[in-house]
Structure 1
Amino acid sequence: MNGQRLSWFAIPVLNTLFQIFIKLAADAVSGHASGWFSGSLASPWLLAAIAVEIVCFLIWMQVLSELDLSKAFPLSALSYVLVLLSSWLYFREQIIVLQLIGSALILGGVWLIGTASGRSSPQQNTQQIKFPPVTTMRARR
């Protein structure tokens, strides 16, 4: 796997880390005597979450320059599955069958979107929807 595709999968991993750090920050603040806001600002987990989110944003900008938005955005849905797995492994939260089914559906959907081609071959019976250009729509107003 080349470095370009590896950066694509950094997005769901970084989104998952962000959620874990926010959860740890929230847990640390819940017992803080001086209040939620001041406790949040003092939390190293919140600072870690902000740092991860900045790195994620920079990588996301690079990914968007390489992929169509319709292909790139479903990658972020992988974080739903990773957060579920992380919450089970790290926080010992219980996972129920419906969550596993939902995760399987998410993974299947991401796979279908990621492998879909923008071009239709003569053998396919699918029709592409063609939208009018934005300039045409504005001219009608």
Structure 2
Amino acid sequence: MKDLPTLWLSIPLLNTLQQIFLKESAVHVSGEFGVQWLVNLATSPWFILAIIAEIVCFVLWLRVLEQTDLSKAFPLSAVSYVFVLASAWLLYSEPVSALQLGGSALIIAGAWCVSTAPEERPIPASSTKSAQ
């Protein structure tokens, strides 16, 4: 359980890397869509890196799920959207709007709320009285 925070952080980082590698694959693969295009894609170093990142991410995700509840772990995957947005802005000079920044803040807040929610929710006293 000691490595859980590191595992959790590695998931959105690897997802972001995978998206960057896929973007590079798409930019560097040439030709019309067809058999040769698929061969070019499959032999692209960027595409191979994307597949490796996905496999590593999948294995680490299984470790996270082994150590925590799915309902607490899964919201973390939403943080990938924020990382991808930041990476696209930094690496590709893609524009980022105020609405995207606001949405990113909501994603982070939502992931934090869901993943830090208490394990057990106390039953309100009014509910237990009516049940008796």
Same fold (TM over 0.5): yes
- CA apart distance, 1:51: 0.6
Q: Distance in 2 between matches of 1:120 and 1:22?
A: 42
Where structure 2 has 5 or more consecutive residues not aligned to the other structure, the ranges are 128-132
- CA apart distance, 1:120: 2.4
Where structure 1 has 5 or more consecutive residues not aligned to the other structure, the ranges are 128-141
Give structure 1 regions of 4+ aligned residues with deviation exceeding 4 angstroms. none
Task: Give the TM-score taking structure 2 as reference length.
Answer: 0.85
Structure 2 equivalent of residue 27 of structure 1 = 27
**What's the C-alpha RMSD, in Å, of the aligned pairs?**
1.9
Structure 2 equivalent of residue 71 of structure 1 = 72
Q: Distance in 2 between matches of 1:68 and 1:85?
A: 28
Mapping of 1:104-123 within 5 angstroms? 104-121=105-122
Q: Distance in 2 between matches of 1:46 and 1:120?
A: 45
- CA apart distance, 1:68: 0.3
Q: Distance in 2 between matches of 1:79 and 1:120?
A: 28
Farther-moved stretch of structure 1 (111-120 vs 34-43): 34-43
The one-letter code of the counterpart of 1:5 is P
Q: Distance in 2 between matches of 1:84 and 1:59?
A: 23
Structure of higher RCO (CA pairs closer than 8 Å, 6+ residues apart): 2
- CA apart distance, 1:99: 0.4
* Secondary structure class of the residue paired with 1:93: coil
Task: Give the TM-score taking structure 1 as reference length.
Answer: 0.80
Structure 1 equivalent of residue 130 of structure 2 = none
Structure with greater helix share of residues: 2
User: How many pairs are equivalent?
Assistant: 123
Q: Distance in 1 between matches of 2:72 and 2:4?
A: 14
- CA apart distance, 1:36: 2.4
Structure 2 equivalent of residue 83 of structure 1 = 84
- CA apart distance, 1:75: 0.7
* Secondary structure class of the residue paired with 1:118: coil
Q: Does 1:61 align with 2:59?
A: no
- CA apart distance, 1:41: 1.4
Q: Distance in 2 between matches of 1:115 and 1:73?
A: 12
- CA apart distance, 1:32: 3.9
Structure 1 equivalent of residue 96 of structure 2 = 95
Percentage of pairs with the same residue: 47
